[in-house]
Chains A and B, each alone.
Chain A
Amino acid sequence: ILNVEQSPQSLHVQEGDSTNFTCSFPSSNFYALHWYRWETAKSPEALFVMTLNGDEKKKGRISATLNTKEGYSYLYIKGSQPEDSATYLCAFFYSPMNYGGSQGNLIFGKGTKLSVKP
């Protein structure tokens, strides 16, 4: 069974605090890891797609790192704002051995729910 684990489950921070959370995934047969931002009553919004070990991606105050050898990714938010309040989902692209990445689907973690207080 493939497991994608995210921690913590929820996080409450003050406006201006920097924060980070973790996504753990299987380290074998790695193709891609996705980060999504999901606000209540909206659809998940793609933040990053990470494919290379050591990858670091940045979008404004949000950045992510990837370690495929040990099977984890960190998402960092610098200077959190109330509008950052959302659930952050990571998803591991799983492709069966015989497909070699040409076909597959996403396996999601349960998400980290971030609340930023003004």
Chain B
Amino acid sequence: AAGVIQSPRHLIKEKRETATLKCYPIPRHDTVYWYQQGPGQDPQFLISFYEKMQSDKGSIPDRFSAQQFSDYHSELNMSSLELGDSALYFCASSSGTGFPNEQFFGPGTRLTVL
């Protein structure tokens, strides 16, 4: 069965650079979520999109932006990268935003900021 695809899987950037992470949801899923997991931390919700519109916003810094495109894939854009942005970034997809909201996770993108 098709799963959530994330690219790239690993990314190394310098401070103050920009990065773009991509997420391709499971076919026919219309909702995408982004999570950030710092070293030793639990996953923190960043932002979600439903039918190409932002549906919820969590602890996403102002330096980050995201969007969902017409084919339902999503991109997380991160600018002025800081050392503290080094983390594993997960994308998840679901059908709809309401409960029980079973989310299916991608393999994650590991971002390292040097």
Contact = CB atoms under 8 A, between A and B. Distances in A.
Interface string B77-112: 000000000000010000001111111111110000
Given A102-B97, A104-B97, A105-B45, A44 B105 contact: yes
B106 A43 contact: yes
Contacts of B101: 32, 93, 104-106
A43 B33 contact: no
Helix, strand, loop or mixed for chain B's interface? Answer: loop
Contact of A106 (B50, B103, B106): B103
B108 A43 contact: yes
B48 A105 contact: yes
Nearest to B50: A103
Nearest to B58: A105
Contacts of A51: 99-100
B70 interface: no
Interface string A42-85: 11111001010000000000000000000000000000000000
B56 interface: yes
A107 B45 contact: yes
A34 B40 CA distance: 20
Contacts of A101: 98-99
| Residue in B33, B41, B99 with the greatest tally of chain A CB atoms within 10 Å | B99
Contacts of A21: none
Contacts of B45: 105-107
A83 to B, nearest CB: 19
Contacts of B108: 43
Contact of B100 (A31, A42, A105): A31
A41 B44 CA distance: 18
Contacts of B97: 102-104
Interface of A: 4, 31-32, 34, 36, 41-46, 49, 51, 89, 93, 95, 101-111
Interface of B: 3-4, 33, 35, 41-45, 48, 50, 55-56, 58, 90, 97-108
